[in-house]
Amino acid sequence: MITSLRQMPLVLACLAPASATAEALPGSAGAPDRIAPAASCLDARDVQQLEQSSPDAIAVRDGRGQAFRIAFSVACPAVNEGRQVRLDAPQGWACGQPGEQVVVDGRHCAIRAVTPIDTRAFSQVARESSAQYAATLPTVTVTGKADARGTRRHTFQGTPEFCFAARHVRSWNEDPKGVVVETNPRRSGGHRYYRLELAGSCTILAGGHTVEFQSGFQNGLICGNPGDRIVVGSSGIEGDQRAGTPRFARPGCDVLAVYPQ
């Protein structure tokens, strides 16, 4: 199944300066537009999502969809597991300046740098973070119904940050960088387009009338997992030999990465 953005067991906030008033906060009536002191600065009051794949940094995304990498001066592990996380930044802007820090359950992690990153980089961190977070869950948690033989199957849960459901694909287009698919944004966390990075040149797409997406986990999700492929479908034209070829036996190209565009 595909889920909405994974909600971390934490509260992310920033400390407003003592002089700040309710009128100066985003969302307040008559609040003026906030102007960043530099293009690379993160509005610490508008952080919507946090992910961590290494103890040296975290990746966050603001309400505009812009992602940032926050690098620590010293390793700050287990931010994902924190019960209370606070982003302290003077005037509410995180720019990698002295005095900025992330506080995790009382631990103070000084910030060394704040750098804007693209969607691909954020999706990669989210993917690795999700895998690490899942690894910390109790091993007895198994989802899914038993099959006819009474065997329970594990269900992979992806997020729209690095997965899309094949059944929600509306169209696809090939370009020099790979393949772009259009999905139903209402079913994909608000994302309409996803870019797929393929393993090398996929020449079979040149003559394909239709394509199909094969999930390596056989759950209908395309995430860049082992076995995820894009294959040429049957054209529906009489005499097309692909019509009688099993999907797994059709020529295809491996999907290495998926991220919103």
Q: Rounded to whole angstroms, how far apart are CA atoms 232 and 204? A: 7
pLDDT at 169 over 60: yes
In this structure, of 146-160, 180-194, 198-212, the range with the lowest mean pLDDT score is 146-160
Assigned domain for 140 exists: no
The verdict on residue 98 lying in a domain is yes
- Within the chain, strands assigned E span 12-14, 42-43, 47-54, 57-62, 67-72, 85-88, 93-94, 101-104, 107-117, 164-165, 169-175, 178-183, 193-198, 211-214, 221-222, 229-232, 252-260
Distance CA 229, CA 222 (A): 8
**Residues 81-111, buried b or exposed e (16+ Cβ, 10 A)?**
bbeebbbbbbebbbbbeeebbbbbeeeebeb
Backbone phi, psi, residue 185, to 5°: -60, -25
Higher model confidence: residue 207 or residue 40?
40
Residue 193 sits in which domain range?
164-260
Distance of alpha carbon 155 from the chain centroid: 18
Residue owning tokens 């700050």: 76
**Residues 180, 111 share a domain:** no
Which is more confidently placed, 4 or 104?
104
∠ CA 231-236-240, nearest 5°, is 75
**Secondary structure (3-state) at 199:** coil
How does the average pLDDT of the chain come out, rounded? 77
- pLDDT beyond 60 at 132: yes
Any domain includes 6: no
Q: What is the pLDDT of residues 206-242, one digit of tens each?
A: 766 688 999 998 889 999 988 999 988 755 555 445 4
191 pLDDT exceeds 60? yes
Residue 210 lies in a domain: yes
Residue 2 lies in a domain: no
Final residue before a domain boundary, out of 100, 118, 136 = 118
Average pLDDT of span 37-49: 91
Q: Is residue 157 assigned to a domain? A: no
**Residue 228 belongs to some domain of the structure:** yes
Mean local confidence (pLDDT), 241-249: 55
Residue 250 or 146, more confident: 250
Contacts of residue 175, defined as CB under 8 A and 6 or more positions apart, other chains included, come to none
Cβ–Cβ under 8 Å, residues 46 and 66: no
> Per-residue pLDDT for 7 more than 70?
no
| Whether residue 108 sits in one domain with residue 16 | yes
For the chain, give the longest Cα–Cα distance. 76
